[in-house]
Amino acid sequence: MAANVNVPQFPEPYWRESVSVPSFPKLDKSVKTDVGIVGGGITGITAAYLLTKQGLNVTLIDAGNILNGVTGHTTAKITAQHGIIYDELIQHFGTDKASLYYQACMEAKQLIEDTINKHDISCDYKNEDAYIFTNADNYLSKLETEKKAYEQLDIPGELKDSIPLNIPVKSALVMRDQAQFHPLKYLKQLVNEAVNNGLEIYEQTTATDVEYNKHPAIITRDEHRISCKYIIQASHYPFYDIPGFYPARMYPERAYIVAVKTPETFPGGMYINAESPTRSIRSAKMDGEDLWLISGENHKTGQGESTMNHYDALQEYAEKQFGISEYVYRWSAQDLTTMDKVPYIGPVTKEEDNIFVATGYRKWGMTNGTIAAKILSDRILNKDNSYAELYSPSRFHADPAIRKFTRMNTDVAKHMIKGKLEYTNDNVKDLSADDATVTRVNGKRTGVYKDKDNALYAVDTTCKHLGCEVNWNAGDRTWDCPCHGSRYSYTGEVIEGPAKEPLNKVELDQ
């Protein structure tokens, strides 16, 4: 590990640090609108932009601040190369639908490019080739099979035995004509355009339920109503769901990013390896210098080793492959994967066909989020969209789905029981500063964090979603749930759903 570089003390994404995003008030009254959008990430903002452009009244709320969820923590590759996926899509959905998936991603890229050109947005947009590389013998044939899938689907690309990046590879599959950008420079401009077209945004406003009379209404935690004709849930996990449908059909994964400067000049291109652990590499410009964004170390949320180890592993990789002259940022992101790896975009149920979801992007949110916004806004505007059926949440392809469904729910049941039994008898007074433990307080499993000034924060570790026990995430100083990925700050506030309520606070005898 590089001995002479300072590890950033707190996780902070470069994107948020390099752009000032406008802030908006909290909703303090009930309102009426055409479309209510929950979630201010790339899906919600792009949909708001597309709909307000056509003259619709749109109100968007976010439980925290806009552009601060997954979208603020992405690697921001705009690509149809979502890992090794096309051979699997052909096997599962057939050639036509696999081809539609590629076309949908490329249409998302085109929409982003057209929007940038239309509004002259300066957001470091750059066309790049995307590479999947491997150094593992057992992945050579998988890359060859994937290359055949590219040929079948007319995807421009080829197999190479080296890549522009100065690292050894045994084989690499390139996909031509992909892109990258600074997501917040782009989306900030979309926010401005949509607000000029009448978009109303409210931050720190949590949606808790939907009421259905003639039209649906979003109910907020403060019991205000947003009455609308359509609702778009662009909040990662849908907050409104037929009981258990979505949590049981997706699993959350975290990934980590380190942003470093190296003595080398970045040669261009975007890269991801085929094998585990994942290593994904792209660059961004910071004050005219290359910032290398190295990400990976994916794991299920709330499960596995101390999260700081994942940052350490990426730092070690960056140091070994390229050398680190400065370690500038580190941050992590979480996203959901569906059973067949294709996002759920469309009506939440067949009956409630004016309430939509967009979720399960599998960490490819720039293209998936943009195509979701297009599909949903087309539906609201009564326009045909040839991709709608592929992404419909009510699709059902039995075999892989059922096997994974059983496995995912067995995993949840295991964590539900295991978590209840695990705790220490640590005396919280012996805790080091900036550390946490799980102990018992008055018979209750309690998580205790001691901050740098030795102040203690104690929470009941039972997750407010369905009752699993949360675990400490030392890298981000959060309590994470292993079952469906809810995350809470060390004071117990919800950072990511599906949980809607904060963890109960526990009084300590000090």
Closest alpha carbon to 471 in 506, 441, 437, 428: 437
Joined together, the tokens standing for residue 35 give: 């479309």
| 465 interacts with ligand FES by CB under 6 A | yes
Size of the site for ligand FES (CB under 6 A): 13
DSSP per residue, 106-136: HHHHHHHHHHHHHHT--S--EEEEEEEEE--
Closest alpha carbon to 76 in 319, 380, 293: 293
| 486 interacts with ligand FES by CB under 6 A | yes
Distance (Å, whole) CA 480 – CA 464: 12
Q: Which of 207, 463, 503, 506 binds ligand FES (CB under 6 A)?
A: 463
The Cβ-side half-sphere exposure at 301, using a 13 Å CA radius, reads 30
| 503 interacts with ligand FES by CB under 6 A | no
Nearer to ligand FES, 40 or 498 (CB): 498
| 194 interacts with ligand FES by CB under 6 A | no
Nearer to ligand FES, 380 or 468 (CB): 468
Under 8 Å CB-to-CB from 81, ≥6 apart: which residues? 130, 132, 175, 178, 272
Residues 334, 323: contact at Cβ < 8 Å?
A: no
Shortest CB 149 distance to ligand FES, Å: 35
Joined together, the tokens standing for residue 210 give: 């939907």
Nearer to ligand FES, 63 or 191 (CB): 63
Nearer to ligand FES, 14 or 251 (CB): 251
Nearer to ligand FES, 44 or 247 (CB): 247
Shortest CB 12 distance to ligand FES, Å: 25
Under 8 Å CB-to-CB from 268, ≥6 apart: which residues? 128, 129, 164, 283
Q: Crossing angle, helix 86-93 and helix 95-119, to 10 degrees?
A: 130
Phi–psi pair at 425, nearest 5 degrees: -100, 25
Shortest CB 252 distance to ligand FES, Å: 8
x-or-dash string of contact with ligand FES, 232-271, rule CB under 6 A: ---------------x------------------------
| 499 interacts with ligand FES by CB under 6 A | yes
Shortest CB 208 distance to ligand FES, Å: 16
Nearer to ligand FES, 343 or 498 (CB): 498
Residue spans of beta strands (DSSP E) within 287-434: 289-300, 326-338, 344-347, 355-359
Distance (Å, whole) CA 172 – CA 131: 6
Shortest CB 480 distance to ligand FES, Å: 9
CA angle 504/508/510 to nearest 5° reads 155
Distance (Å, whole) CA 240 – CA 237: 9
Strands 326-338 and 31-32: unpaired
> Stretches 52-60, 112-120, 217-225, 464-472: which one binds ligand FES (CB under 6 A)?
464-472
Nearer to ligand FES, 63 or 270 (CB): 63
Shortest CB 61 distance to ligand FES, Å: 21
What residues from 392 to 431 belong to the interface with ligand FES (CB under 6 A)?
A: none
| 336 interacts with ligand FES by CB under 6 A | no
Shortest CB 220 distance to ligand FES, Å: 21
Closest alpha carbon to 361 in 234, 481, 260, 213: 234
Nearer to ligand FES, 121 or 503 (CB): 503
| 498 interacts with ligand FES by CB under 6 A | yes
Q: Which of 31, 483, 495, 506 binds ligand FES (CB under 6 A)?
A: 483
Residue in the block written with tokens 């980590």: 256
Shortest CB 237 distance to ligand FES, Å: 8
CA angle 61/24/187 to nearest 5° reads 75
Q: Which of 165, 345, 481, 503 binds ligand FES (CB under 6 A)?
A: 481
CA angle 78/82/84 to nearest 5° reads 150
> Stretches 175-183, 190-198, 443-451, 483-491: which one binds ligand FES (CB under 6 A)?
483-491
Residues 35, 94: contact at Cβ < 8 Å?
A: no
> Stretches 18-26, 308-316, 319-327, 465-473: which one binds ligand FES (CB under 6 A)?
465-473
Shortest CB 69 distance to ligand FES, Å: 16
Phi–psi pair at 167, nearest 5 degrees: -135, 150
| 462 interacts with ligand FES by CB under 6 A | no
Nearer to ligand FES, 191 or 336 (CB): 336
> Stretches 77-85, 123-131, 448-456, 478-486: which one binds ligand FES (CB under 6 A)?
478-486
| Interface with ligand FES (CB under 6 A) | 247, 463, 465-468, 481, 483-486, 498-499
